Structures are given as structure tokens and as C-alpha cells.
Amino acid sequence: MISGASSISQSGMSAAVQRLDAAASNTANRSTPDSQRLRVEQSESANGGVQARTVRTEERNDTEQAAIQDAIEARVAERDFQANAAAFRARNDAVGSLFNEKA
């Protein structure tokens, strides 16, 4: 169970990084003609955690709405990463405490 918590938080951090990368790519390519927006699709993993994959969309990337969406998505992805990192650290602290008790 403890290793499961670790892999769940790691998959959450990985998905957050993918979402941040997609928002950064969209931002970097905002003025590129015919640039396709990227989006990350997430789904529940069979063993817990999340699976994520980056897909191209047909949405326009050169609009103010697209810029706002990317700014929000980057901020949410950052917060999600922080939350999963905190869960990962808590798991490591718990394991460390168990080893200290056994010693």
C-alpha cells in the first residue's frame, strides 16, 4: 500500500509536467501560423494513479481565449504537481518513521 501511494503521486506529478509542457508549447507557438493546440488527456490507471497522453487538437491557438486557457492550465498543473509532491514526501516521511521505530 505504501509503495502504491508513491506510484500514484509519481504518476500525478508526471501528468502535471505533461500538462505544463503542453501549455508551454501552446504559448511558444501562439504566433506560428496554423499551429495546432496541444491538450493532455488523463485517465485513471488500473493500478491507481493516472495515465496521461498529449494530443493535438483542431482548436485555434492564436486567440486571446487560448492564451488565457494556457495561463490557467499552467497554474493548475503547477499546483497539482505541488500537491502530488507533498503526498510523495509524506509517504517517504511515513516510511522513515517506520524504519526509525524498528531500529
C-alpha cell at 13: 506529478
pLDDT at residue 2, as a whole number: 45
Q: Does the global pTM surpass 0.85?
A: no
Distance of CA 12 to the CA centre of its chain: 6
**From residue 94, how far is each of 2, 37, 77, 87, 91 by CA, in Å?**
9, 41, 26, 11, 5
Domain ranges of the chain: 2-92
* Tens-place pLDDT, residues 38-78: 999 999 998 889 999 999 999 999 999 999 999 999 999 99
